[in-house]
């Protein structure tokens, strides 16, 4: 499989030739895999409301949940800081974390839960400062951890019940989040009624968390799009894969191996929204997960940018997504309570990128669209989020000159490029019916790339 | 002067020895300098309300304001995109910018004005996407420009009148913003009544924009703090410089050369707020600009962090600022309508930094404090903002190993470290009475460092 080829290359042959240290091998999800490979420290500062249910989750998954650091290696460290309101609370967090990070196992998971700074400000300015300090702290820890361990922060709104964080805690503790590092994700009161409440009480990661859900993936014929289709199908979704007619042969292969249907469609065509809606209406009568993945690049410095390059990229990457999303919302029948929309933005859309003014404008535009639509779609029980991949090993990056490619791979805290499946797993998490607490967010899948500001 | 030594070193001897390209020499502000050294393109897409007053500002400063790209080099390019609401408007911006960036002179200024994405969403989702696209676009342009030219974006709230952007447009067009690049600053309706409305109609940058204002600078005995004191004094402010007793000799020098008063004070002392308030009350009866600059580092990986290192840094960098600010607000007499508070955060406080968990927590905490206090102090006509320096040439960075230092200097779009005066100029802008449109913002002074995400 191509992704294994990439990993082997960077781990052995290439690393040897370049004389660079071996990159850590990241633990990745495989069907049947337990939530955690070892015990977890789960504790809190003050009266956090999440430590108890998270401890129960860990124990029900078959692992020990300890509340103090001992001699054993820890597969995960979870500290509920949602009740932290003072600098003394922050110092208490430091006292927990210093011994804990020493015990974190390879591919370990450090997960903090903290209050929302804007909400904390209502209590005191010190509370707001404390909340924001966690943001910097987790990004620092992520830069200090080694051996594939990650650190992330869930910022939890005051009105979010423990169940709202459940799918996110599962994702960030599990191997599914292998390449999501140094990120801060906000969780609010859940949007939509989970269609499968039983999954939320499941003692282990359900094998098929997307069972019964109809998922559409655009640009699915190859690369990240194909990985998304494969991963969603693995997790139980019924797929509708979309790509341009020229990619029809590959698209058919993806449809066949995922047991889904293929829809050959140029998403920039005038009648594209109409045709997609017709296909979905006839086959399924619904869409539970819409993944706007299709995208193109036409790189050129802005000084040399012609209207054709500009328009081609903006039309595929942004205008088509706007039109299709608006048509689906106007349709009113396919997107239902619990449906999820996930857009593929890019790290470049956050920080800009030399030679990609058109691509960056489109991917930043996606972020604007996601944030603007979040409150609109929430009224229908729908969420919309974006993933922003960093350096992901694809045919595109494989074609880069070796210097550029190696630099791209190394300038992140995990010292390697991500795999398409890492983007796909993140989309799978956001696509779950019980991920309604996550809305309007942009989640980077970048190994905490140091670029992008 | 030490800053010149740094610049000469990186421009000639060192660059020669390392075989790296000469770094661009940045145009910096000197008293009497004209706003711009050449003509400016000032135009808009749609019915932007800012192009006309900005054109007037340029012409009154003695330069030509053109509305089309011709043969001549441009000292500045200003495009008012506040009325841009569609992807067609975005394409129109591209059509303006492509020929314009080719004509931008060394140390040129590209300044976009755009709508606030959250406000644009009320018009349409496409408008929100368009607004956010400008964010990515300006960061990309900043990465593509060469020879010391910068690109920045002012996000202007719908209720901000043209006068609200005036001081910011002056700052970003002028040489004062030499090291502020790739940044996005929000401007809203002005907070506080400008104490010197005449300055806002001034045809050129007033020589003394801080005349009549009392400014307090903590940590002013050396480094960035001393540069802040020097720069604010140059611009007309009356200085109160503060530092620990051990730095008393240097502090006295700064006080003497700025014509200010020195206050030896450990800001972490229990009675520090009280003593500062007493000094200000007795000498001036007011404070128009409070600059929280004092800060320390005690670096250590979190795994090896002891409580002393943690507490020392948090107490100086965050707790003292919280206490002093709250005491001044409680005092109720010193901070007045038009007063400004500026905190010195750090790029590390945004993106985290390996080995600096304590420092990062404190500097992220400052950001939390600034955002939380902004709406509170606005009720009194006061603003609070933060600057976040990147790699600034100081005694601290001069002591780094050459490899680390050169890497730090080069990983930004201007390919050099900034000077203390660059931080100081930014604080001077935020400290003006007529900068009330800027509140709760964090402005990086980092040459668009590629680190920090």
Those of residues 259-298 in A touching chain B at CB distance below 8 A are none
Q: Hey, what are B61's tokens?
A: 């400063």
Tell me: pLDDT of A11 over 90. Answer: no
Average pLDDT, chain A: 93
Q: Is A115 helix (H, G, I), strand (E, B) or coil?
A: strand
Q: Do B352 and A98 touch (CB under 8 A)?
A: no
Minimum distance, in Å, between the CA of residue B103 and any CA atom of chain A: 9
Mean pLDDT, each 10-residue run in order, chain B (453 residues): 39 51 89 96 95 97 96 98 98 98 98 98 97 98 97 97 96 98 97 61 64 97 98 98 98 98 98 98 97 97 98 98 98 96 97 96 98 98 98 88 86 96 98 97 96 69
How far apart are the C-alpha atoms of B248 and A324, rounded to whole Å? 66
Strands (E) across A306-362 are located at 335-344
Tell me: pLDDT of A21 over 70. Answer: no
What percent of chain A has a predicted confidence (pLDDT) above 90? Answer: 87
- Of B13 and A377, the structure prediction assigns the larger pLDDT to A377
Tell me: pLDDT of A286 over 70. Answer: yes
Strands (E) across A205-297 are located at 214-218, 238-243, 261-264, 287-292
**Which is the catalytic residue, given A359, A383, A393, A421?**
A359
| Predicted structure pTM score | 0.94
Interface probe for B, chosen from A84, A140, A300 (most Cβ of B below 10 Å), is A140
Q: Are B58 and B36 in contact (CB under 8 A)?
A: yes
> pLDDT (tens digit, 9 = 90+) per residue, B308-362?
999 999 999 999 999 999 999 999 999 999 999 999 999 999 999 999 999 999 9
Minimum distance, in Å, between the CA of residue B339 and any CA atom of chain A: 19
Q: In what order do the strands lie in the sheet with A238-243?
A: A261-264, A238-243, A214-218, A287-292, A335-344, A383-389, A442-445
Q: What is the pLDDT of residue B369?
A: 98
- How would you label B365-403 residue by residue, b for 16+ Cβ within 10 Å and e otherwise? bbbbbbbbbbeebbebbbbbbbbbbbbbbbeebeeeeee
Tell me: pLDDT of A308 over 70. Answer: yes
Residue B378 touches chain A, beta carbons under 8 Å: no
Q: Are A407 and A186 in contact (CB under 8 A)?
A: no
Which of the four pLDDT bands, split at 50, 70 and 90, describes residue A192? confident
Q: Hey, what are A78's tokens?
A: 């979870």
How far apart are the C-alpha atoms of A416 and B398, rounded to whole Å? 32
Q: Do B352 and A137 touch (CB under 8 A)?
A: yes
Residue that has been written with the tokens 């593509």 in this structure:
B144
How far apart are the C-alpha atoms of A175 and A443, rounded to whole Å? 16
Q: What is the pLDDT of residue A128?
A: 98
Give the chain A residue nearest B123 (alpha carbons). A372
Q: What is the pLDDT of residue B22?
A: 73
Q: What is the pLDDT of residue B158?
A: 96
- How would you label B267-289 residue by residue, b for 16+ Cβ within 10 Å and e otherwise? bbeeebbebbbebbeeebebbbb
Residue that has been written with the tokens 């000292």 in this structure:
B75
- Candidates B372, B406, B404; CA nearest to B386 is B372
How far apart are the C-alpha atoms of B7 and B30, rounded to whole Å? 16
Tell me: pLDDT of A2 over 70. Answer: no
- Of A147 and B203, the structure prediction assigns the larger pLDDT to A147
Residue A118 touches chain B, beta carbons under 8 Å: yes
**Which chain A residues are Cβ-neighbours of B304 within 8 angstroms?**
98
Residue A135 touches chain B, beta carbons under 8 Å: yes
Q: What is the pLDDT of residue A8?
A: 39
Q: Is B447 helix (H, G, I), strand (E, B) or coil?
A: coil
Burial of A141 (C-beta count, 10 Å sphere; 0-12/13-18/19+) = buried
Which of the four pLDDT bands, split at 50, 70 and 90, describes residue A20? low
Can A359 be counted among the known catalytic residues?
A: yes
Q: What is the pLDDT of residue B18?
A: 53
Q: Out of A95, A351, A361, name the one closest to residue B453 (CB).
A: A351
Q: What is the pLDDT of residue A7?
A: 43
DSSP class of residue B449 equals: B
Q: What is the pLDDT of residue B192?
A: 85
Question: Above 0.85 for ipTM, yes or no?
Answer: yes
Q: What is the pLDDT of residue A198?
A: 46
Interface probe for B, chosen from A85, A99, A302 (most Cβ of B below 10 Å), is A302
Q: What is the pLDDT of residue B206?
A: 62
How far apart are the C-alpha atoms of B335 and B289, rounded to whole Å? 8
């Amino acid at each position: 499989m191509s992704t294994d080829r990439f990993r082997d290359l960077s781990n052995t042959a290439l690393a040897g030739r370049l004389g660079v240290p071996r990159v850590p091998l990241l633990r990745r999800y495989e069907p049947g895999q337990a939530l955690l490979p070892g015990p977890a420290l789960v504790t809190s500062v003050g009266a956090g409301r999440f430590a108890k249910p998270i401890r129960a989750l860990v124990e029900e998954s078959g692992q020990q949940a300890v509340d103090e650091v001992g001699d054993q290696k820890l597969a995960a460290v979870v500290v509920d800081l949602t009740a932290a309101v003072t600098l003394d609370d922050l110092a208490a967090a430091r006292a927990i974390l210093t011994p804990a990070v020493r015990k974190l196992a390879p591919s370990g998971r450090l997960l903090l839960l903290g209050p929302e700074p804007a909400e904390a400000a209502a209590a005191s300015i010190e509370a707001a400062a404390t909340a924001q300090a966690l943001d910097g702290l987790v990004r620092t820890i992520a830069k200090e951890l080694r051996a594939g361990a990650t650190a992330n922060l869930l910022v939890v709104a005051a009105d979010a019940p423990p169940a709202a964080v459940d799918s996110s805690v599962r994702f960030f503790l599990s191997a599914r989040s292998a390449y999501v590092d140094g990120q801060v994700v906000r969780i609010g009161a859940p949007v939509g009624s989970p269609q499968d409440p039983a999954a939320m009480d499941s003692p282990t990661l359900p094998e098929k968390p997307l069972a019964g859900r109809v998922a559409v993936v655009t640009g699915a014929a190859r690369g990240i799009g194909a990985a998304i289709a494969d991963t969603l199908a693995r997790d139980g979704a019924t797929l509708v894969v979309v790509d341009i007619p020229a990619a029809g042969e590959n698209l058919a292969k993806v449809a066949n191996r995922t047991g889904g249907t293929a829809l050959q469609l140029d998403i920039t065509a005038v009648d594209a929204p109409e045709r997609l809606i017709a296909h979905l209406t006839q086959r399924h009568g619904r869409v539970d997960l819409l993944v706007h993945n299709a995208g193109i690049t036409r790189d050129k410095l802005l000084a040399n940018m012609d209207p054709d390059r500009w328009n081609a990229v903006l039309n595929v990457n942004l205008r088509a997504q706007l039109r299709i999303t608006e048509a689906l919302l106007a349709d009113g029948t396919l997107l239902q309570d619990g449906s999820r929309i996930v857009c593929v933005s890019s790290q470049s859309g956050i920080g800009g990128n030399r030679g990609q003014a058109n691509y960056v404008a489109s991917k930043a535009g996606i972020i604007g669209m996601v944030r603007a639509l979040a409150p609109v779609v929430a009224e229908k029980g729908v969420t919309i989020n974006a993933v922003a991949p960093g350096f992901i090993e694809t045919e595109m990056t494989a074609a880069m000159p070796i210097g550029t490619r190696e630099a791209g791979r190394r300038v992140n805290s995990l010292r390697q490029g991500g795999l398409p499946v890492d983007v796909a797993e993140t989309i799978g998490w956001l696509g779950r019916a019980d991920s309604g607490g996550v809305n309007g967010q942009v989640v980077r899948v970048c190994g905490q790339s140091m670029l992008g500001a």
